[in-house]
Amino acid sequence: MASPAVSAPKRETDPKKRIVITGMGLVSVFGSDIDNFYNKLLAGQSGITLIDRFDASSYTVRFAGQIRDFSSQGYIDGKNDRHLDDCWRYCLVAGKRALEDANLGQQVLDTVSLLIDGQNEDRCLGWVRHGGSKVFTDAVEALVQRGYKKISPFFVPYTITNMGSALLAINTGLMGPCYSISTACATANYCFYAAANHIRRGEADIMVAGGTEAAITTTGVGGFIACRALSRRNDEHEKASRPWDKNRDGFVMGEGSGVLMMERLEHALKRGAPILAEYLGGAVTCDAHHITDPRADGLGVSSSIFKSLVDAGVSPEEVNCINAHATSTLAGDLAEVNAIKKVFKDTSEIKMNGTKDLEPQVTIDTVPNVKKQHEVNVGISNSFGFGGHNSVVVFAPYKP
């Protein structure tokens, strides 16, 4: 019996369900300016330095992507700024900068974050978090050294994972869906996927979605060292992160926040919003395998890539850019490559971010060392987390 014909995938055409990116905000080791951040990445500049936030001289890993000279001026009032964990400070600044980038300043938000005539005109919020590492560390030290009465009253509210989205909602007046997702390194992609679904279901016109982290603390660095997950190249820390390199020995910790403004196309066009790209689809899966290690066969990853393309209405042949997870771990890098090869039979047109001295199994162009001009047709972004959480999102240049 002949197998049924498979119809060509179809992208969403309804402007009420098409989703575009109308703003971006970030906090990084290169600052908070999007163009400056991008240019430094293209130039191959490293943001990895020796840790000086605390005395790491006795640690086997003494380097990270530590943010310095961060300023929240103009975004967080001084009183609140003193009490906030850095992860919340980063997310508030990145979130508000994304709103500004989308031409959604506070004056505009004040006119739309209300229920008008019984119709939901509320603009909605989604977020992602892991936990307030510095506040947690300070509380543990206070408990051990001085007793429970010296624990800060901000300990509980500033370590629970929902506080990033809550603080941004409180600061902007956004009253729609507001929650946090915690799936380790996959969380931001999970949030983009969830935010898109709210828009597609007609529950929101705009979603603020992203991720934030600030775990370069004594417990954060010490914990990842205990997991044996980090590179130990203290003497060449700027070159320690080397995904797919045959001499890789683990990932490098970093911190910061990245936020996207995701908006219904119909709504964006109506208000004349800047359109940066289009979100086509996404998918999330689970390895159901191990607390830290990925499946060697990459099955969970390949299924998430395949399902994301189905959700996006995109064929594998249309994809020519992959933003790989590529954490520089021994098991993770090859599992990801194996998964990519399962989905994309011909990778000759694909560019994938990477470094140098590749494993023989890596036959995809990873654009090592020197930047290349490349016109993206469709791009996917992979993110995978401890626990086997897999997430893939699909983007493309916006075309009317």
Is 185 marked active-site? Answer: yes
pLDDT category of residue 356 using cuts at 50, 70 and 90? very low
- Binned at pLDDT 50, 70 and 90, residue 100 comes out as very high
The four Cα atoms 247, 253, 255, 261 give a dihedral, to 10 degrees, of 50
H or E segment and range at residue 198:
helix 187-200
- 330 pLDDT exceeds 80? no
- Give mean pLDDT, residues 301-324: 95
Domains 21-110+121-275 and 282-399 share a fold: yes
pLDDT band at 91 (very low <50, low <70, confident <90, very high): very high
Amino acid 257: pLDDT = 95
pLDDT band at 367 (very low <50, low <70, confident <90, very high): confident
The C-alpha atoms of residue 100 and residue 208 are separated, in whole angstroms, by 12
Judged by average pLDDT, the poorest of 89-98, 122-131, 232-241, 317-326 is 122-131
Of the pLDDT bands very low, low, confident and very high (cuts 50, 70, 90), residue 378 is very high
Catalytic residue, from 124, 178, 185, 191: name it.
Answer: 185
Backbone angles phi, psi at 256, to 5 degrees: 145, -165
Model-wide pTM > 0.85:
yes
| Token reading at 243 | 């995904």
Read off the pLDDT of each residue in 313-322 and give the average, rounded to a whole number: 95
Architecture of domain 282-399: 3-Layer(aba) Sandwich (3.40)
Task: Say which amino acid occupies 201.
Answer: R
What average pLDDT does this structure show over 28-43? 94
pLDDT greater at residue 24 or residue 82: 24
Q: What is the residue extent of each domain of the chain? A: 21-110+121-275, 282-399
Alpha carbons 133 and 365: distance in angstroms, whole number: 37
When the pLDDT of each residue in the chain is averaged and rounded to a whole number, the result is: 87
DSSP state of 360: T
Percent of the chain with pLDDT over 70: 89
DSSP state string for 238-265? GG---TTBTT---B--B-EEEEEEEEEH
Structure-token pair, residue 188: 């931001």
Residue 211: pLDDT band by 50, 70, 90 thresholds? very high
In this model, does residue 6 exceed pLDDT 50? Answer: no
Q: Domain spanning 21-110+121-275 has what CATH number?
A: 3.40.47.10
pLDDT tier at 127, thresholds 50, 70, 90: low
Res 377: pLDDT: 94
Distance CA 25, CA 214 (A): 16
Cα separations (Å) of 110 from 24, 113, 125, 204?
20, 6, 15, 16
